[in-house]
Amino acid sequence: MSWDSDPQVQSVIGRPIEELLSARARRQSLDGFEAVYSDIVDYIVRCTHRIWDEKNVGLIRTHYSAECPMVTLSGKVLGAEAVVRNTLQSLAAFPDRSPIAEDVIWSEDAPGVFSSSHRITSAATHLGPEAVMGAPATSRRGAVAVIADCVCQRNRIVAEWLVRDSACLAWQLGIEPRQLAESLSRSDRAGDPARHSWLQEEVARVRALGHREPPADHPAASVARALRMALVEVQLGSAAQIASPSIEVQWPAGRRIYGRGAWIGCLMQLRAPLDDPLYALDHWAARPRPDGDIAVALRWWLIGRHAGDGVWGPPTSRQLVILAISHYRLRAGRIIEDFTVIDEVGVLRQAAGGLGAQ
């Protein structure tokens, strides 16, 4: 299927929530999906609203498969019941959490099988203990970037990769991310180490992907090639040519900077500490934007030995696994905006010896 097929499936960009949630007729073939959903973008936005804003958590049982794997750098859970449990814990910590839809970039990878990349700003007040970070309630209000990549079929999410700007959240809760990671790593090292085997299983899956690239005529192809040039071939000047001179870069933990040098600098912060890294592209999608630009989503991995100083601290010789999801805005073939989300606390946790890091 062409990347720009189904033009009637509209982007969420620039549309008020009242319009997004208004009832409308089915306008895309959605075999097995509930009648309330008009298209795949509507499915993602509306079911997220029903579960998180309206607090109908039980809908997860009809919107996630019984064996759905959800992968985050803080752990992997399997199945709808685990997602119900985690959602309840999150809402107990942030009861007013409201996921604000920024974009949904999707593809139909096989008939009736959709992949979506849903970027949100998660606004909430911290009124209960945070399950992953172990932080007691602070009554602080904040907002963090989250991107959820889902595979959807017949009204159910059958696989999900979730990345949250954990360092930004930690700062907003008054916690230094490196100290938090060291605390979490101590808990990781206690008990049965087999509970962290999921991470190496995910690494094996990523290694098996090999050298995947989008087709040459796909808008994601040039971006994927630029990432490979920067992260593997270390051809920084060549990679930077895809970026607008005034590119806006929005990366984790408050990195809001402009220009080609800033963009390459963010990539080098990831690459510099790693010895002989593996870069793997997991999924790509692109959609036309209402303003005439093109939105591109890439889910990618960077895996390597922690051999140098840098953003992850002094070298530890441990293997670090970095999962990133990026949304790009292209204009005339160049990137004018880069929204990338990485769980930096999850990476720091590995550097500190947690999550079964080897």
Compute the half-sphere exposure of residue 262: CA atoms within 13 Å on the CB side of its CA. Answer: 17
C-alpha to C-alpha distance for 282 and 213, rounded to whole angstroms: 9
Radius of gyration of the chain (CA): 20
Alpha helices for the chain (secondary structure H): 17-20, 40-48, 60-63, 80-93, 166-172, 177-189, 197-209, 220-231, 236-240, 260-271, 344-351
Amino acid of residue 58 = G
C-alpha to C-alpha distance for 187 and 130, rounded to whole angstroms: 15
C-alpha to C-alpha distance for 66 and 68, rounded to whole angstroms: 6
Confirm if 328 and 163 have CB atoms less than 8 A apart: no
Q: Strand pairing of 255-258 and 243-251? A: antiparallel
* The pLDDT of residue 132: 75
Neighbours of 134 (CB within 10 A): 12
Token pair 């949904």 is found at 104
* The pLDDT of residue 56: 96
**Mean pLDDT of residues grouped by 10 in the chain (358 residues)?**
92 92 94 97 97 96 97 94 95 92 96 97 90 82 94 98 93 90 90 88 92 95 96 93 96 90 93 94 97 97 95 94 97 97 96 90
According to DSSP, the residues that pair with 57 across neighbouring strands are: none
- Give 313-316's long-range contacts (Cβ < 8 A, gap of 24+): 313/178, 313/348, 313/351, 315/273, 316/351, 316/352, 316/353
Confirm if 308 and 275 have CB atoms less than 8 A apart: yes
* The pLDDT of residue 85: 95
* The pLDDT of residue 245: 96
C-alpha to C-alpha distance for 146 and 148, rounded to whole angstroms: 7
C-alpha to C-alpha distance for 246 and 335, rounded to whole angstroms: 9
**Which structure tokens are listed for 108?**
């139909």
According to DSSP, the residues that pair with 304 across neighbouring strands are: 320
* The pLDDT of residue 192: 83
pTM of structure: 0.96
Backbone dihedral region for residue 103 (phi beyond 0: left; psi -120 to 50: alpha; all else: beta): beta
Confirm if 72 and 343 have CB atoms less than 8 A apart: yes
DSSP structure class, residue 122: E
Among the listed residues 201, 184, 212, the one whose alpha carbon sits nearest the alpha carbon of residue 299: 212
Confirm if 330 and 338 have CB atoms less than 8 A apart: no
Backbone dihedral region for residue 25 (phi beyond 0: left; psi -120 to 50: alpha; all else: beta): beta
The number of helices, as runs of H, and strands, as runs of E, in the chain is 11, 12
- With residue 31 as reference, give the H or E element that holds it: none
C-alpha to C-alpha distance for 284 and 224, rounded to whole angstroms: 9
Sorted by where each starts, the structural domains of the chain and their CATH numbers stand as 17-173 (3.10.450.50), 195-351 (3.10.450.50)
